[in-house]
Amino acid sequence: MTAVRRCLFPFSLHRVVRIARVARMLAVTAAAIALAVPAHAADAGSAWTLDRLMSTLAQHKSGRATFTETKTLSIATQPVESSGELVFVAPDHLEKHTLSPKPEHLVVDGDMLTVERNNRKYTLALARYPELGAFIDSIRATLAGNRFALERVYKVAVSGRGDDWTLTLTPLDSRMLKVVSTITLDGTRDVLRSVAIRQADGDRSVMRLQPVAANAN
């Protein structure tokens, strides 16, 4: 999906910034869930075009995936790792449940973002924060297979073939570029392997995904 935002409940500016950053990752990983659920087999040897990728995304109406995320931060002496589960239900319900090292639950439902951590709950109305809302809406456009909506927000590049492709998103808006430099998604056929985010300040994160079968408990 992103500048400083306020919450409907008052709390520190530092915490608002942190929640907004996590919300951005939640929006990006929604696309990850959609691709982490295998669709019909694709031709592994043929070129993977943007239209073909959008068509694949549009087939998924819901999905679940486990994740392992590694963040490299300027304020940390070593990478920070976390793991948990992601959930997407079309058209606009997204969830990120972090289980380790500390529980944290984020939910985007329609125009509202809810964050639960340390036994407290905070809510953000996306309509009050246009940059965050635009970021999340762009991911929703991806899930819907809406190429034109996606290209209104990002410079989009696809490379590779069906068995090893890369989708690179570069924000067009100068304000978004002050937060996110690039988002890179790597996959094989209909399955996403990883999502990497490089921030403008040099921090970066890599999320690796494993799809959860639809009939799994």
Whether pLDDT at 4 is above 50 = no
Query: Are the beta carbons of 168 and 157 closer than 8 angstroms?
Result: yes
pLDDT at 77: 92
Residue 165 confidence (pLDDT) above 70: yes
- pLDDT band at residue 98 using 50, 70 and 90 as cut-offs: very high
Quick one: average pLDDT of 93-108? 90
Domain boundaries, the chain: 13-211
Rounded Cα–Cα distance for residues 132 and 47 (Å): 33
pLDDT above 70 as % of the chain: 68
Q: What is the pTM of this model?
A: 0.75
Q: In what order do the strands lie in the sheet containing 93-100?
A: 120-125, 112-117, 104-109, 93-100, 80-89, 62-72, 204-211, 191-199, 180-188, 164-171, 154-161
CATH homologous superfamily of 13-211 equals Lipoprotein localisation LolA/LolB/LppX (2.50.20.10)
Is 211 in contact with 38 (CB distance < 8 Å)?
Answer: yes
pLDDT value of position 14: 43
Q: Tell me phi and psi for residue 157, to 5 degrees.
A: -135, 135
Over 60: is that where the pLDDT of 94 sits? yes
Q: Enumerate residues 6+ apart whose C-beta is below 8 A from 129.
A: 3, 5, 6, 20
Distance CA(81)–CA(79), nearest Å, equals 6
Q: Is the pLDDT of residue 53 over 50?
A: yes
pLDDT(202) > 60:
yes
> pLDDT tens for residues 62-87?
778 899 999 999 998 999 999 999 88
